[in-house]
Amino acid sequence: MDSCNKSTRDSSPFDCLLFDLDETLYSAKIGIGEATKRNIDDFLVQECGFPVTQTKILRIELFKTYGSSLAGFACYDIDADDYHRFFTNSDRIHATKALDRLGIRDSFEQIICFETMNPNLAKSTRPDEFPVVLKPSLEAFRIAIDVAEIDPRRTLFLDDSVRNVAAGKAVGLRTALVGRSIKIKEADFVLETVNSLAQAIPEIWLGEGQRMTRTRSQMDPMLATAPIGA
């Protein structure tokens, strides 16, 4: 899921900030990522009949090969809505809940999520009719750029995934790797947390000090969010 926050200022090098949500807009330490992995493992056992001992290996392999568990499930005829109802982290419901929990939903003009990338999936008449599109596929980025009507050269894409940042760079976006301290060649910027955005990339708000202050205060609650359970 990505959220798009457009700026209209001429002095900034960016017209739009395109944020990944999970473990970019909030810390990995609060536990959503681990809870999601446990739910995927449960789904593989309860809905697909895989042995408990194989779920972790299968989940990792699906993610490495296809970019998401659901994309890899195409050959198993698994309904996307059933999968999302079990709880994953890429549909609109999750995105809106997370942004509400963070208290920053109003800061974004648009949510680009699983449903945006895969509008025809529900109409499938066979498992492989509409391949699942998600980051880091270049097609996912092209859809996001088209839907948001943005110029990638004036859009800053922020994500905690090296693979996603590399894909974003490949389609012409400016990129920032979040949650790391060491820069990679595909990232124009690196920042340890999104809370340090104003310090790491001050040119976003050139000449707009009031907005920078407001944005920083909106970011503060993110890392203070209490850990959650599964």
Residues within the interface to Mg ion (CB under 5 A)? 20, 22-24, 160
Q: At its nearest, how many Å lie between Mg ion and the CB of residue 104?
A: 16
Q: What's the closest the beta carbon of residue 20 comes to Mg ion, in angstroms?
A: 4
> How long is the chain?
230
SS3 state at 158: strand
Beta bridge partners of 122: none
Toward Mg ion, which CB reaches closer, 133 or 205? 133
In angstroms, what CA-CA distances link 150 with 108, 170, 189, 205?
A: 14, 16, 20, 18
With CB atoms as reference, the residue minimizing the distance to Mg ion is 22
Residue closer to Mg ion, measured from CB, 162 or 200? 162
Closer residue to Mg ion, CB minimum distance, 24 or 175:
24
Give the nearest distance from C-beta 158 to Mg ion in angstroms: 10
Edge-to-edge order in the sheet of strand 16-20: 110-112, 2-6, 16-20, 155-159, 174-178, 189-191
The dihedral built from the CA positions of residue 218, 220, 221 and 223, taken in this order, carries a sign that is: positive
Residue 91 or 160 with smaller CB distance to Mg ion = 160
Beta carbon of residue 94, minimum distance to Mg ion (angstroms, whole number): 12
